[in-house]
Amino acid sequence: MGKKVHLGLIYGGKSGEHDVSLQTAFAVMGELDYAKYEITPFYITRLGEWRVGPMLAGKPLAIDELRLDPADPAAAQPVPAFPLAPLLDRLAGGSAIAGGGQPIDVVFPLLHGPFGEDGTIQGLLEIADIPYVGAGVLASAAGMDKITMKKIFAYEGLPQCVFRYFNRAQWEKDASFFIMECEVALGYPCFVKPSNLGSSVGISKAKNREELIAAVDFAFRYDRRVIVEEFVDAREIEVSVLGNDDPKTSVPGEIAPSNEFYDYKAKYVDGKSTIHIPANIPNKTADAVRDMALRAFLAIDGSGLSRVDFFLRKTDGQLFINEVNTMPGFTPISMYPLMWKESGLPYRDLLDKLIELALKRYADKQTIDYGGSGGN
């Protein structure tokens, strides 16, 4: 039997999706094939402190052990955030790393939201020259920021809901203008969201001017830019994308939220939302969903994985792209792995494929001449 792959799992993080990341990490650790992988967990606290745990060769951490306790030397070693060199040394397999100093072969960043899903951790791993699962810096940043993402969709000619956006300074300077613009262009109800966050954190549905103002103030707690979108009475359709330059799509799925819309509670807390995989939609619509998902994935230069979300308007069947999630959840109730399972790719095989894609992408990038020497 060949040497096991040394896999680094990074989870937690400073974003509002910290707890979602823990759920994802727990699920992934429980499904990985320990005959193939040796795992070193890297936990990032809510304050951004890195902690590294012992190498796991056969026993995943329990959910209550994921927050590696620095008070227990056997459980975790604090990693100084600065200077950068010691952190990269540990990621790359320096002698101080728990588990004996075997270099990390590939990293699986199980982080959601800012400081993880937005290109920041991807940039760190690029600097460290370590292969990693998922989208690169550009796709991660574009996929995380809703305003940038929607501009790319518009350039690609993908149909989407009407939206408006502004930053904190603009709002404070002339809130009345943006209120009027939203009322004229979008009407009520409308959805107010932080531009750079996921898992429905910070999202509100505003039914009048008073609620709009409160929703904007709430969204600014999570980001310096806010996006406001028109309400569409629609079914929520999703599809999973897997691959690098020649990606494939799963069967589409549908979510019937337990709440008024698919908010954080409906996604991760009450477990009452209903999912239908495959979605009960015409074949023509399913084909359009898959085609638009691939166009969106390639438009942001995606790699590895993404879940692409759509609205299917109830009145006329018009399809609108909503967003691309470059690091979708892997919790037991997450749509991404469930749609691939229905498409014939079980959870464990899906994880193997993602790691394989990460190593392939890294190998392909080694052929690029970054020095601009033209081979001379």
CA-to-CA distance for 112 and 120, rounded, in angstroms?
11
17 noted as active-site residue = yes
Sketch out the chain's domains with CATH numbers.
Answer: 5-132 (3.40.50.20), 162-230 (3.30.1490.20), 234-364 (3.30.470.20)
pLDDT in tens, 226-249: 999 999 999 999 999 999 999 999
Task: Return the H-helix or E-strand segment holding 309.
Answer: strand 304-313
pLDDT in tens, 74-112: 455 555 444 455 556 656 554 333 334 578 899 999 998
Angstrom CA distances, 48 to 44, 194, 276, stand at 6, 21, 37
For residue 36, pLDDT over 80 is answered with: yes
How high is the pLDDT of residue 20? 87
Sequence-separated (6 or more) residues with CB below 8 Å from residue 333: 271, 275
199 noted as active-site residue = yes
pLDDT (mean) for 278-283: 96
Closest C-alpha to 257, from 242, 249, 267: 267
Helix 18-31, helix 347-365: angle, nearest 10: 100
Q: What is the DSSP code (8-state) at residue 20?
A: H
Q: For the chain, first and last CA: distance in Å?
A: 41
For residue 57, pLDDT over 90 is answered with: no
For residue 332, pLDDT over 50 is answered with: yes
Show the tokens assigned to 2: 């060949």
pLDDT in tens, 129-172: 889 999 999 999 999 999 999 999 999 999 999 999 999 999 99
Is 341 annotated among the ligand-binding residues?
A: no
Is 234 annotated among the ligand-binding residues?
A: yes
How high is the pLDDT of residue 52? 83
The position carrying tokens 């590696």 is 68
The position carrying tokens 């998922």 is 134
Is 316 annotated among the ligand-binding residues?
A: no
Percentage, residues of the chain above pLDDT 70: 84
Is 303 annotated among the ligand-binding residues?
A: no
One of 15, 17, 117, 254 is an active-site residue; which one? Answer: 17
Higher pLDDT, 84 or 221: 221
Helix, strand or coil for residue 239? strand
The full DSSP string for 76-141 is: -EEE-SSSHHHHHHHHTT-TTSTTS-PPP-EEEEE--STTTTSSHHHHHHHHHT--BSS--HHHHH
Alpha helix segments (H runs only) across the chain: 18-31, 84-91, 120-128, 137-144, 146-156, 168-185, 209-219, 264-268, 283-299, 335-342, 347-365
One of 15, 195, 204, 334 is an active-site residue; which one? Answer: 334
Is 236 annotated among the ligand-binding residues?
A: yes
CA-to-CA distance for 298 and 33, rounded, in angstroms?
30
Is 376 annotated among the ligand-binding residues?
A: no
| pTM (whole model) above 0.85 | yes
Is 181 annotated among the ligand-binding residues?
A: no
CA-to-CA distance for 202 and 217, rounded, in angstroms?
10
Helix, strand or coil for residue 148? helix
One of 21, 199, 273, 303 is an active-site residue; which one? Answer: 199
Is 129 annotated among the ligand-binding residues?
A: no
Closest C-alpha to 96, from 158, 32, 157, 50: 50
For residue 209, pLDDT over 60 is answered with: yes
Sequence-separated (6 or more) residues with CB below 8 Å from residue 242: 248, 249, 250, 304, 305, 340, 345, 350, 353, 354, 357
Is 19 annotated among the ligand-binding residues?
A: no
Q: Is 253 left (phi over 0), alpha (psi -120 to 50) or beta?
A: beta
211 noted as active-site residue = no
